C-alpha cells in the first residue's frame, strides 16, 4: 500500500508544471554573457567613453541573416540596464528581447552575427521596454564608433539614442540597424523567470532577481563600466 501511495505521489509531482527557468532561455542569457565577455576583450572594441555613457545594453548572439532577394534577419537576446530611475545604479536583471527586420545595410549571406546595441538615453530605454520600436524611426540609431582611443564626444554619439555594433568572422565594427525592429520578448521572460513579468517591471520595478545564467553578463559589464558618466 505504501509503495502504491509513494508511486502515485511521484507521478503527481512529475505531472505538475515546473516553475524553474527554461534551459533554452538560460542558454540565451549565458550566450549573451559569453559574447559580451569576448567583445570586451577585443583590442579595438567599444570606446570606454561611449560605454560609460550607456544606460542599457542589448546583446543579440548569433543573429541569423538570410540574404537571398531581400535581406531578412531574426535574432533573440537580452537587454540589461543600470538600475535606478536615473540609470546610476549597478547593472540589473536582464529582460529578453527580439530583433526583427529587413536588410541591416550589410549583406552577410546566411552568416550568424553577434550584435550589441548601446541605449544612450532614457527615452530609448523606456520606448523599447514598453513596445516594439523601429530603429531609425521611433528612436534614432547609428553605427557606433570603435577603438579604445576614440572620443565619445562625437556628433554621432551626441545625437543617436542607440549605437549599434556587430561581430562576424572575428571582425568587430559599428553597423547601422536602421529599419529593423526591437521589442521585448515577454513570452521568453515568462519562461526564464517562471511567471508572467513584463520587461518594464524587470528593469524599472525590480520585479525579479537576476538569474544565475546572467552572472557572466553582469560581471563583465560591471567590470567594463561600473559607473554611468552621462550628464543626462
Query: Mind listing the pLDDT tens digit for each residue in 138-162?
Result: 999 999 998 765 555 555 555 799 9
pLDDT at 38 over 50: yes
30 vs 108, higher pLDDT: 30
Helix (H) or strand (E) holding 196: none
Does the pLDDT of residue 39 top 60, yes or no? yes
Place of cell 503527481: 12
Query: 212: which DSSP letter?
Result: G
The per-residue pLDDT for 22 is: 66
Q: Is 57 helix (H, G, I), strand (E, B) or coil?
A: strand
* Residue 23 C-alpha from the chain's centroid: 18
Q: What is the pTM of this model?
A: 0.83
Neighbours of 16 (CB within 10 A): 7
Q: Which of 94, 124, 99 is nearest to 112 (CA)?
A: 99
Amino acid at each position: 500500500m505504501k509503495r502504491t501511495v509513494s508511486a502515485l505521489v511521484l507521478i503527481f509531482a512529475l505531472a505538475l508544471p515546473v516553475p524553474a527557468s527554461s534551459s533554452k532561455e538560460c542558454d540565451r542569457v549565458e550566450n549573451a554573457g559569453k559574447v559580451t565577455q569576448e567583445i570586451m576583450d577585443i583590442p579595438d572594441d567599444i570606446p570606454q567613453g561611449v560605454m560609460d555613457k550607456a544606460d542599457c545594453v542589448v546583446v543579440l548572439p548569433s543573429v541569423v541573416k538570410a540574404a537571398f532577394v531581400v535581406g531578412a534577419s531574426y535574432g533573440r537576446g537580452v537587454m540589461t540596464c543600470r538600475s535606478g530611475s536615473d540609470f546610476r545604479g549597478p547593472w540589473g536583471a536582464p529582460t529578453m528581447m527580439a530583433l526583427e527586420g529587413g536588410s541591416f545595410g550589410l549583406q552577410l549571406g546566411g552568416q550568424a552575427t553577434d550584435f550589441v546595441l548601446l541605449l544612450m538615453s532614457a527615452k530609448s530605454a523606456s520606448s523599447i521596454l514598453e513596445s516594439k520600436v523601429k530603429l531609425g524611426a521611433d528612436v534614432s540609431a547609428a553605427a557606433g564608433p570603435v577603438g579604445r582611443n576614440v572620443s565619445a564626444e562625437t556628433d554621432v554619439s551626441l545625437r543617436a539614442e542607440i549605437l549599434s555594433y556587430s561581430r562576424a568572422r572575428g571582425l568587430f565594427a559599428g553597423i547601422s540597424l536602421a529599419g529593423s525592429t526591437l521589442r521585448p520578448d515577454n513570452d521568453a521572460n515568462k519562461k526564464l523567470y517562471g511567471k508572467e513579468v513584463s520587461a518594464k517591471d524587470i528593469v524599472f520595478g525590480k520585479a525579479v532577481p537576476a538569474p544565475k545564467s546572467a552572472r557572466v553578463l553582469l560581471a563583465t559589464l560591471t567590470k567594463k563600466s561600473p559607473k554611468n558618466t552621462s550628464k543626462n
